Amino acid sequence: MGHSSAAGTGTILVAAPRGYCAGVDRAVDVVEKALDLYGPPVYVRKEIVHNKYVVESLSRRGAIFVQDTEQVPEGARVVFSAHGVSPQVRAVAQARNLATIDATCPLVTKVHREAVRFAKEDYDIILVGHEGHEEVEGTFGEAPEHIQVVGSPEEVDDVVVRDPSRVVWVSQTTLSVDETRETVDRLRERFPLLEDPPSDDICYATQNRQVAVKTIAPRADVMIVVGSANSSNSVRLVEVALESGAGVAHRVDKADELDPVWFQGASTVGLTSGASVPEVLVRDVVEWLQARGFPTVEEVRTETETITFALPRNLRAQMAASGMGETRPHAKRRVGVNHTS
Ligand code: SF4
């Protein structure tokens, strides 16, 4: 992003990394490639990623979003979203003879595998996460008899385990790092032999976006997080901004939800976006602010991300069989060009 000479003296601090993570990039790409390969309609169970704009863009191209696998016609093709599904959902899809393409983020799949392994070893598993979130439903479904969901440090008091020496915690991938630490500390006070997951379950993208926000929040009179209300990691970014010293913080889906009143008297605005947010929506916010007294844009980078995930194997094989190249727009997307517009 460059500088502008519009009227006013305010500064926009833009967090980096922000926006698309590797799992979202892949999931959106899966639907786009499936549409190219098979033509519409392609059914998608739940929102492919939690972002209104992405869902609307893909709907226009012929994706049909359904809440339930039962709503997909027998024998049709369905994409499972980035948040993952439980074995029960897979069983329903099989029973209905659906052709499935699994866009579950590999980092969510990793947590599923941990849950399955610890359940096999007969642990009580504490899943730190938000009840009702699709990812939590999917992970929980891997071992419902062994898993309890804990949403906050306060809920730790209600946990009951069979054997305090065989308890492990795992987590949703998009939580607040600090709040999760508090929850785990409380769990460990109650169960000193609590075991940790083999590696961090809160994913690299969630962590990196929180670190970037923590860095700019103390300088921001107002913090704007671009992201949808049902996007866990976006909502966490608002909380992290407030905890880290931002004067106020607002989440918006897009620029036209911004209210000029929020910026009265402010000289520095912090800006970031959740992991499911296309860069075009951030650019719109920058332009909106530049037209209202914040001409200077400064990007504050705390990490450079290079991770990418390959497309699902069955999709790759069918693309190869029909002579379709596997071009992925990562390089362009890293510098912020949105591919769904
Ligand atoms: S936020 Fe993390 S876990 Fe979720 S899709 Fe992105 S990389 Fe995967």
The first and second tokens of residue 152, run together, are 């906050």
Q: For residues 227 and 236, give the distance between their C-alpha atoms in angstroms, rounded to a whole number.
A: 10
pLDDT tens digit string along 150-203? Answer: 999 999 999 999 999 999 999 999 999 999 999 999 999 999 999 999 999 999
Question: Residues near ligand 1 with C-beta < 6 Å?
Answer: 21-24, 82, 105, 107-108, 173-174, 203, 205-206, 233, 275
94 CA to centre of ligand 1 in angstroms: 26
- The stretches of 11-99 forming alpha helices (DSSP H) are 22-38, 52-60, 87-95
Ligand 1 atom with the smallest distance to the CA of 275 is: 1
203 assigned binding-site residue: yes
Q: For residues 326 and 313, give the distance between their C-alpha atoms in angstroms, rounded to a whole number.
A: 12
Task: Please report the pLDDT score of residue 295 as a whole number.
Answer: 97
The first and second tokens of residue 46, run together, are 């739940």
Global pTM reads 0.93
Q: Whose CA is nearest to atom 5 of ligand 1?
A: 23
In sequence order, which residues have a C-beta less than 8 Å from that of residue 260 and are 6 or more positions away?
292
* φ, ψ dihedrals at 101, nearest 5°: -125, 125
335 CA to centre of ligand 1 in angstroms: 19
Ligand 1 atom with the smallest distance to the CA of 27 is: 5
Task: Please report the pLDDT score of residue 2 as a whole number.
Answer: 44
Contact predicate 124/146, CB 8 Å: yes
Phi-psi domain of 185 (left: phi exceeds 0; alpha: psi -120 through 50; beta: other): alpha
pLDDT tens digit string along 67-111? Answer: 999 999 999 999 999 999 999 999 999 999 999 999 999 999 999
Q: Catalytic residues, which ones?
A: 135
| Average pLDDT per 10 consecutive residues for the chain, totaling 341 residues | 62 98 97 97 97 96 97 97 98 98 98 98 98 97 98 97 98 96 98 97 97 98 97 97 97 98 98 97 98 98 96 96 80 39 31
Task: Please report the pLDDT score of residue 329 as a whole number.
Answer: 62
Task: Please report the pLDDT score of residue 1 as a whole number.
Answer: 47
Task: Please report the pLDDT score of residue 157 as a whole number.
Answer: 97
Q: For residues 2 and 335, give the distance between their C-alpha atoms in angstroms, rounded to a whole number.
A: 13
78 burial level (CB within 10 Å; 0-12, 13-18, 19+):
buried
23 CA to centre of ligand 1 in angstroms: 5
Task: Please report the pLDDT score of residue 8 as a whole number.
Answer: 86
- From 113, 151, 123, 111, select the one nearest 236 (Cα to Cα): 151
In sequence order, which residues have a C-beta less than 8 Å from that of residue 95 and are 6 or more positions away?
none
Distance of CA 112 to the CA centre of its chain: 16
Does residue 191 sit in helix, strand or coil?
coil
Bridge partners of 170?
127
